[in-house]
Amino acid sequence: MRYLFLCLLPITLCSGCGSDPETPAQAESAPIPLVLPSPAPAEKITTAEATQTTQPESYSPTIRALLQRARTAVTEGRHAGAIEALSQAIGFTPADARLFRMRADVYSLQGENANARADFSTAIRLAENDADLYNARGYFLMTQGIPADAKADFDNAIERNPRHSAALNNRGLLLLAAGDLEESIKDFSLAIKAQADFMEAWNNRSYARLKLSQLEEAMSDVRQAIRIRDDYPTAWNNCGLIAMEQQNYAEAARAFTRAIELSPLEIRLLQHRREAYLKLEQFREAHADRDRIVWLQQLQQLSESTGRSQGNPNAWISRGEHLLQGREFGAAVQDFTRAVLLQPNNQQALTLRAQAWLAMGDQEKAMLDCNQALSSGEFQPALSLRGDLYLAADQAEQAVADYNAAGRFDDSVAAAYDLLAESQLTTGDAAAAAASRQQAVAVRAALTRTLESRPNLPPADDDGFDPLQN
């Protein structure tokens, strides 16, 4: 009776992509409704199975209401509430293995691992021939670092269903971790035979073959994984690693680039692409990747700081500024918003968030944040940014006023005076227009004098690459 519980809570069995790009895809997990990184390798459910009396529709309205409450609680991150609702449901139907399985999943999310293991075991006792339950407990045990018990569960799942692709893949991962590459390949191959579009199994077999230096076979496998799912960064990274071993550095760089597009904040992907660029003697690109790596390392440090000081708006502002500099505008908005929630009239946070909104093309939200920042008093950065917004909206008079109040002096100020002069001419105020033109000329002349007074500096090194700092 496989996957029948999927209709209750949106529990999705998942062979997820691992966070470590140098490892194969992670084993199948079964958390209740999180947004999971990949779909389950699902088997078709027969008509007979679909009409079993254990279908969700057979539950009483009371049980269905409790399951809905649990689903909502998990979605909102209230795991204790989900556990309470599921416990009440179990009280009404204490012989239903699926309910124990669901509660085990939530206990696992909550970090209550002893309770999770107990519920998985109770579910198996109630449905001892259910291969999915053995696989689910095996995955849980594997995540807890108990490989021997996990393997026993995967063996039990496969004994009950020799075509259980997820359990075969998971057992293959255990064998791979133990260094038994040939045996792991056998299990991955069986998983693929059972489920031809099981992308993670193709990727995992590719990784095992890479470890055995079976490069052509490994590349064939990883390309098949990518054909099944093009947006899987682990597979693209493995493709790049195989290409590096084949000394096909151009293909490696292309593969790593695609992985970075899908996972732009992963340092190791950039490190891998930088190595490919160095092999290709593309030093400018290698230098750019090195700069990005440094930026990401700094981001990690700032993230650790915010983790320690979540109630400090300045910590969120610092990380938001760093994200803004790295052109991660959406993430920057989130951090500045956290700062504003902690301190609603924080002028710096509001102004920086306005900058991020503007970079994302949302001038309306940028203007709202500037106005809110200035409602607490004059703040030069907010005045300067609002001047830019007024200039972009062809509101020259307001732009000039804000630039002057901010003490700003650059080409944008001159452009605002030019625009103001045009507006004044259309209203017939020639004298005012002439004065505005004169102001624009004066600003540009002063800027030219400033540039001419600067000392001549040697040209910057174009690529800035120092091989000794590799």
Displacement of CA 252 from its chain's centroid (Å): 23
Nearest Cα residue to 286 out of 464, 444, 90: 464
268 shares its domain with 335: no
Q: Would you state the pLDDT for residue 459?
A: 53
Nearest Cα residue to 396 out of 408, 407, 405, 388: 388
CB 413 within 8 Å of CB 390: no
Q: Measured between alpha carbons, how far is 145 from 174 in angstroms, rounded to an integer?
A: 10
334 shares its domain with 232: no
CB 319 within 8 Å of CB 349: no
Q: Locate 368 and state its tokens.
A: 């709202």
Query: Hey, what's the torsion of the CAs at 60, 63, 65, 66, to 10 degrees?
Result: 180
Alpha carbon distances (Å) from 391 to 273, 413, 430: 41, 9, 21
Residue 449 falls inside a structural domain: no
Q: Measured between alpha carbons, how far is 238 from 21 in angstroms, rounded to an integer?
A: 8
Query: Which alpha helices (DSSP H) does 161-282 contain, by range?
Result: 165-177, 181-194, 199-211, 215-228, 233-245, 249-262, 267-279
DSSP-derived secondary structure letter, 7: G
Nearest Cα residue to 5 out of 93, 77, 118, 78: 93
Rg of the chain over Cα atoms, rounded to whole angstroms, equals 30
Alpha carbon distances (Å) from 238 to 38, 43, 173, 190, 258: 17, 27, 16, 21, 11
Residue 448 falls inside a structural domain: no
Residue 269 falls inside a structural domain: yes
296 shares its domain with 329: no
Residue 383 makes CB contacts below 8 A (sequence gap 6+) with: 374, 402, 403, 405, 406, 408
Q: What is the span of the domain harbouring residue 15? A: 4-195
84 shares its domain with 132: yes
319 shares its domain with 274: no
Q: Would you state the pLDDT for residue 71?
A: 93
Residue 405 falls inside a structural domain: no
Residue 297 falls inside a structural domain: yes
- Count of domains in the chain? 3
Q: Would you state the pLDDT for residue 458?
A: 57
Q: Would you state the pLDDT for residue 7?
A: 26
Alpha carbon distances (Å) from 277 to 230, 268, 283, 285: 23, 14, 7, 7
DSSP-derived secondary structure letter, 45: P
80, amino acid identity: A
Residue 136 falls inside a structural domain: yes
CB 269 within 8 Å of CB 263: yes
Q: Would you state the pLDDT for residue 141?
A: 96
Which of 308, 341, 356 is at the close of a domain?
A: 308
85 shares its domain with 9: yes
168 shares its domain with 269: no
Inter-axis angle of helices 313-325 and 329-342, nearest 10: 160
181 shares its domain with 324: no
Q: Locate 313 and state its tokens.
A: 């708006």
Q: Tell me the residue length of the chain.
A: 470
CATH number at residue 257: 1.25.40.10
CB 170 within 8 Å of CB 152: no
131 shares its domain with 265: no
Residue 445 falls inside a structural domain: no
Which of 269, 290, 308 is at the close of a domain?
A: 308
Residue 390 falls inside a structural domain: no
Q: Measured between alpha carbons, how far is 274 from 276 in angstroms, rounded to an integer?
A: 5
Which of 320, 343, 369 is at the close of a domain?
A: 369
**pTM for this structure?**
0.73
DSSP-derived secondary structure letter, 461: P
CB 259 within 8 Å of CB 236: yes
190 shares its domain with 134: yes
179 shares its domain with 69: yes
pLDDT tens, N- to C-terminus, the chain (470 residues): 232 222 223 222 333 333 343 445 554 433 322 122 222 333 332 322 222 333 455 788 999 999 999 999 998 989 999 999 999 999 999 999 999 999 999 999 999 999 999 999 999 999 999 999 999 999 999 999 999 999 999 999 999 999 999 999 999 999 999 999 999 999 999 999 999 999 999 999 999 999 999 999 999 999 999 999 999 999 999 999 999 999 999 999 999 999 999 999 899 999 999 999 999 999 999 999 999 999 999 999 999 999 999 899 999 999 999 999 999 999 999 999 999 999 999 999 999 999 999 999 999 999 999 999 999 999 999 999 999 999 999 999 999 999 999 999 899 999 999 999 999 999 999 999 999 999 999 999 988 887 777 666 555 444 444 443 43
129 shares its domain with 109: yes
Q: Would you state the pLDDT for residue 24?
A: 54
Q: Measured between alpha carbons, how far is 274 from 187 in angstroms, rounded to an integer?
A: 34
Q: Measured between alpha carbons, how far is 416 from 411 in angstroms, rounded to an integer?
A: 9
Q: Would you state the pLDDT for residue 12?
A: 28
Nearest Cα residue to 381 out of 324, 316, 334: 324
Residue 43 makes CB contacts below 8 A (sequence gap 6+) with: 2, 3, 163, 165, 195
Q: Measured between alpha carbons, how far is 44 from 56 in angstroms, rounded to an integer?
A: 18
